[in-house]
Amino acid sequence: MTEFVVLKNLQPQPELVRENIKKDPGFGKYFTDHMAHIRYTIDDGWQAHEVKPYGPLVLDPAAAVFHYAQEIFEGLKAYRHADGSVWTFRPERNAARINRSAERLALPQLSEEDFINSLKALVSLDQAWVPTPESEADESSLYLRPFMIATERFLGVRASHEVDYYVIASPAGPYFAGGIKPLSIWLSTTLKRAGAGGTGFAKCGGNYASSLVPTNEAAAKGCQQVLFTDAEENKYIDELGGMNLMLVTKDGKLLTPGLSDTILDGVTRRSLLDLAPQLGLEPVERKIEVEEWREGAASGEIVEAFACGTAAVITPISKLVSEDFTIDHGETAGEKTMELRKTLLDIQYGRAEDTNNWLVRLA
């Protein structure tokens, strides 16, 4: 196993500042004292594994990432259990996904061992930053953001010969400011996030960049998220701006779009599909037309909708708003939505037995 060399931050945040941040961290605003780093060159492969003080990167203005967006990332969380230990959830799935993203973006493969050890090295050093949940309703955690960027100084359009991988960590509360208050979603029918053969399934910055204008459009309509439809026929449910979408039917199906070139293989998505049978739900992955959702909601066949992702956990959806119609599930979170949410969070926070061995100890 390659050891991470530790270069300690000699000016960490004072304890009082850190404890205050953990009380109300919001999402993605504050960062811990260190970051993990591994450097890749085409000649030497991955090398120089280190954890060093968190701080700005010095990059050449001609670094490929700035020009051709050769960049990928991951998102996972570290959860503090009641006995003080710190765990993460199914990190081998993130390790596999970063390599699928890397393959699509012509970035180098990173071993599962390096990926998981980078999390362990960082979190064991910065474990004081992992919030302790005060109640079952408190979903605070330490959000982990591994990312890989092309850093060769070269303006020709080809895969970079130099790459840097980092992990940064950020104490996190709910992703949406309203917590689990049901969301309004805007249906974007003109602007697309991804198409067949593109990068939609990869976790690359470009997918998120292309969701920003539609997200602004959504905000202008009073909505907190955007839903994309497919680029070919403009009728199938694709993804939300930064998370997957699920529907619950009256007859007990948990419906979500099947994996394709444009759908991110979300770890929360997969885990909910895996957990569905124990809550009496049948998981169904297939193409779903927006029209099916609209008719199903009107007839009472589709009874709940929610967004899911590592950052979003499970956030209920109250409305889908479009130029022509509104689907309204009401302002009360759905019963199955909340059951799924509790089942997942209880495993992640160590309140329920981890019968699937999904948890990996970080500290």
For ligand COI, give the closer residue by CB, 263 or 311. Answer: 311
Residue 22 CB, nearest distance to ligand COI (Å)? 19
Residue 252 CB, nearest distance to ligand COI (Å)? 27
Question: Strands 86-89 and 359-361: what pairing?
Answer: antiparallel
Residue 348 CB, nearest distance to ligand COI (Å)? 13
- SS (HEC) of 54-93: CCCCCCCCCEHHHHHCCEEECCEEEEECCCCCEEEECHHH
Using CB under 6 A, which of 108, 182, 200, 242 touches ligand COI?
A: 242
- Give the three-state DSSP class for 320: strand
For ligand COI, give the closer residue by CB, 50 or 274. Answer: 274
Name the segment binding ligand COI (CB under 6 A); options: 104-112, 187-195, 305-313, 351-359.
Answer: 305-313
- The token duo for 74 is 């991951």
Using CB under 6 A, which of 12, 25, 75, 200 touches ligand COI?
A: 75
For ligand COI, give the closer residue by CB, 72 or 243. Answer: 243
For ligand COI, give the closer residue by CB, 70 or 268. Answer: 268
Using CB under 6 A, which of 95, 167, 311, 327 touches ligand COI?
A: 311
When CB distances to ligand COI are compared, the closest residue is: 75
C-alpha–C-alpha distance, residues 33 and 52, integer Å = 8
Instruction: Tell me if 198 sits within 8 A of 261, measured CB to CB.
Output: yes
* Cα-only R_g, the chain: 21
Q: Is 309 in the site for ligand COI (CB under 6 A)?
A: yes
Phi and psi dihedrals of 187, rounded to 5? -90, 115
Q: Is 88 in the site for ligand COI (CB under 6 A)?
A: no
State the number of binding residues for ligand COI (CB under 6 A): 6
CA atoms lying within 13 Å on the CB side of residue 6: 14
Nearest alpha-carbon partner for 237 in 221, 217, 219, 257: 257
- The token duo for 189 is 């029918």
Q: Is 310 in the site for ligand COI (CB under 6 A)?
A: yes
Q: Is 146 in the site for ligand COI (CB under 6 A)?
A: no
C-alpha–C-alpha distance, residues 164 and 148, integer Å = 6
C-alpha–C-alpha distance, residues 318 and 322, integer Å = 13
Instruction: Tell me if 70 sits within 8 A of 150, measured CB to CB.
Output: yes
Q: Is 91 in the site for ligand COI (CB under 6 A)?
A: no
Per the listing, tokens 């007839």 go with: 299
Residue 266 CB, nearest distance to ligand COI (Å)? 8
Residue 194 CB, nearest distance to ligand COI (Å)? 15
For ligand COI, give the closer residue by CB, 91 or 242. Answer: 242
For ligand COI, give the closer residue by CB, 9 or 211. Answer: 211
Name the segment binding ligand COI (CB under 6 A); options: 108-116, 162-170, 191-199, 303-311.
Answer: 303-311
Distance of CA 42 to the CA centre of its chain: 29
For ligand COI, give the closer residue by CB, 160 or 225. Answer: 225
Instruction: Tell me the DSSP string of 195-257.
Output: -TTSSTTS-BHHHHHTTHHHHHHHHHTT-SEEEEE-TTTS-BEEEESSSEEEEEETTSEEEEP
- Give the three-state DSSP class for 289: strand
Site for ligand COI in 312-331 (CB under 6 A): none
Name the segment binding ligand COI (CB under 6 A); options: 247-255, 286-294, 307-315, 327-335.
Answer: 307-315
Where on the chain is the footprint of ligand COI (CB under 6 A)? 75, 242-243, 309-311
